[in-house]
């Protein structure tokens, strides 16, 4: 059985890499002609680096949340676990990275329930962080929502937000919800949740920085969007893509939302190139992270074999 699971895991990994590779190549060919110079290389490398840092933050969040399940995972192990499973989100279904973490987590002695609870918290924190980042833009730049057919005034947006908060609070105060939360109280440390929440907010901020820098490659300088607008707009698009059922890694959904938001300001061609460029470099960041995590895992296995051979039982 274990052998069969290993084979399935390897096949899924290969499928993910092939899918990402095709996405990368097809996206690269779809970009407009680029002038290869030092600025392009520096911006591309910096954006890929931010993508890897985002993955590292994800590993830190995983490590912190697992403390609630009495799991003291080393940061290196958390990075290996997170980095190797993360690319599975690009498979249809948008759930296989969570399944991969549960499977890989068994090698570190992590109970499936603990990993499942941490995954639920991770999703909720990511959505909450996106809501926080999006909120200022929605109220200060609400006219942009007309591009999505949501031509609401701040008064109606405030009313909608109040209704959403009321529904959430009603759900939290429901006896069954409170019973479940009571059983998971060890995971709900305010300090750990706040720390994880801040890292999620930092992820969206880095996405905004990446988009702002990519404007130098794809957008006329006179039409530049502000960093704040790009950050809140893409946080909204990212959150919608993140929770869209079946969308592989939110691919396509978030770009569509972001395009609809910003194409009227910077032009359709520039918006398409901007978000396609971000997707390509995000994929590059995912592949770099996977390579580092896989290399680290191989080094760990080598160290274990060396230790076992020099310290026989």
**pLDDT for residue 249:** 45
H/E stretch holding 38 reads helix 38-66
Q: Given CA atoms 48, 54, 58, 59 in this order, what sign does their dihedral have?
A: positive
**Strands, E, within 201-276: which ranges?**
none
The residue segments making up the domain with residue 23 are 2-29+39-305
Residue 217 domain-assigned?
A: yes
The pTM is what?
Answer: 0.80
Residue 84 domain-assigned?
A: yes
Residue 188 domain-assigned?
A: yes
Residue 166 domain-assigned?
A: yes
**pLDDT for residue 168:** 62
Nearest to 134 by CA among 233, 254, 66: 233
Residue 79 domain-assigned?
A: yes
Total of domains in the chain: 1
* Averages of pLDDT over each 10 residues, the chain, 313 residues: 59 71 71 84 95 95 91 91 85 75 85 88 89 80 60 56 66 63 72 94 94 90 84 83 53 73 84 86 90 90 73 60
Query: What are the distances in angstroms from CA 299 to CA 59, 76, 274, 288, 292?
Result: 18, 11, 37, 16, 10
As a whole number of angstroms, the distance between CA 88 and CA 66 comes to 21
Residue 111 domain-assigned?
A: yes
Residue 76 domain-assigned?
A: yes
As a whole number of angstroms, the distance between CA 47 and CA 68 comes to 33
Q: What is the pLDDT of residues 167-205, one digit of tens each?
A: 666 665 667 666 655 556 778 888 999 999 999 999 999
Q: Interhelix angle for 253-266 vs 268-310, to 10°? A: 140
Residue 109 domain-assigned?
A: yes
Residue 276: exposure state from Cβ atoms within 10 A (0-12, 13-18, ≥19):
buried
Residue 69: CB atoms within 10 A of its CB come to 19
**pLDDT for residue 311:** 65
């Amino acid at each position: 059985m274990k052998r069969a699971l290993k084979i399935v895991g390897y096949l899924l990994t290969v499928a993910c890499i092939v899918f990402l590779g095709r996405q990368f190549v097809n996206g690269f060919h779809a970009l407009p002609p680029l002038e290869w110079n030092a600025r392009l290389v520096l911006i591309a490398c910096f954006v890929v680096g931010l993508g890897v840092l985002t993955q590292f933050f994800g590993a830190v969040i995983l490590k912190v949340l697992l403390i609630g399940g009495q799991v003291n995972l080393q940061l290196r192990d958390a990075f290996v676990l997170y980095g190797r499973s993360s690319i599975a989100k690009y498979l249809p279904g948008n759930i296989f990275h969570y399944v991969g973490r549960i499977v890989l987590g068994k090698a570190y002695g992590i109970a499936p329930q603990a990993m499942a609870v941490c995954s639920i918290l991770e999703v909720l924190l990511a959505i909450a962080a996106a809501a926080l980042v999006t909120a200022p833009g929605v109220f200060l730049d609400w006219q942009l929502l007309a591009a999505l057919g949501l031509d609401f005034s701040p008064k109606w947006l405030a009313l909608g937000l109040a209704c959403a908060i009321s529904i959430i609070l009603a759900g939290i105060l429901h006896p069954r919800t409170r019973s479940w939360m009571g059983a998971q109280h060890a995971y709900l440390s305010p300090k750990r949740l706040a720390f994880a929440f801040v890292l999620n907010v930092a992820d969206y901020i880095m996405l905004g920085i990446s988009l702002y820098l990519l404007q130098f490659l794809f957008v006329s300088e006179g039409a530049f969007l502000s960093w704040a607008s790009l950050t809140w707009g893409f946080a909204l698009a990212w959150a919608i893509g993140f929770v869209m059922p079946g969308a592989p890694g939110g691919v396509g959904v978030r770009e569509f939302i972001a395009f609809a938001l910003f194409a009227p300001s910077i032009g359709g061609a520039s918006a398409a190139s901007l978000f396609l460029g971000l997707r390509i470099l995000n994929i590059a960041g995912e592949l770099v992270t996977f390579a580092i995590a896989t290399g680290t895992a191989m080094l760990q296995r080598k160290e274990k074999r060396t230790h076992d051979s020099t310290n026989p039982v």
